[in-house]
């Protein structure tokens, strides 16, 4: 039992697993999927605390769900922002030309930074 808890803790602390959980959460429009990963020491955001980030994510996904047609699809784009290469996770629905949701993802040495862009 203890080894399973340790394995789950290590998994939730991996940068790749944090990013995968965010993608899964956004594609399903279920922010609760991502909530356990907010406690990871590798999660970073400009929000004052993790609860603020979660509230913003929850609100954005609720709006995306109500304004989208069909299922969401992810397109990852690498862009130059302030002389740094970052990834934009752009979530598109079936009919709109512009993304329904865009999240900036920047990997650092020991953490991953997220920023949710407004509509």
Residues 76-101, mean pLDDT to the nearest whole number = 93
Rounded to whole angstroms, the Cα distance separating 64 from 116 reads 13
- List, as one string, the DSSP characters of 71-118: --EEEEEEEEETTEEEEEEEEE-SS-SS-SEEEEEEE-SS-EEEEEPP
Token pair recorded at residue 41: 């020491």
Q: What is the pLDDT of residue 26?
A: 98
Confidence class for position 69, pLDDT limits 50, 70, 90: very high
- In total, how many domains does the chain have? 1
Residue ranges making up the domain that contains 84: 2-116
Q: What is the pLDDT of residue 12?
A: 65
Domain holding 41: CATH number? 3.10.450
Token pair recorded at residue 6: 């340790």
pTM: 0.87
């Amino acid at each position: 039992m203890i080894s399973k808890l340790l394995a789950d803790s290590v998994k939730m602390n991996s940068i790749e697993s944090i990013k995968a959980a965010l993608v899964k959460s956004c594609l399903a429009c279920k922010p609760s999927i991502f909530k356990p990963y907010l406690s990871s020491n590798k999660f970073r955001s400009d929000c004052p605390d993790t609860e603020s980030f979660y509230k913003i994510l929850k609100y954005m996904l609720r709006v995306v769900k109500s304004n989208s047609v069909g299922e969401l699809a992810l397109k990852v784009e690498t862009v130059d922002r302030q002389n740094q290469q970052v990834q934009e996770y752009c979530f598109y629905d079936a009919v709109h030309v512009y993304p329904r949701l865009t999240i900036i993802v920047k990997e650092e040495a020991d953490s991953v930074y997220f920023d949710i862009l407004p509509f």
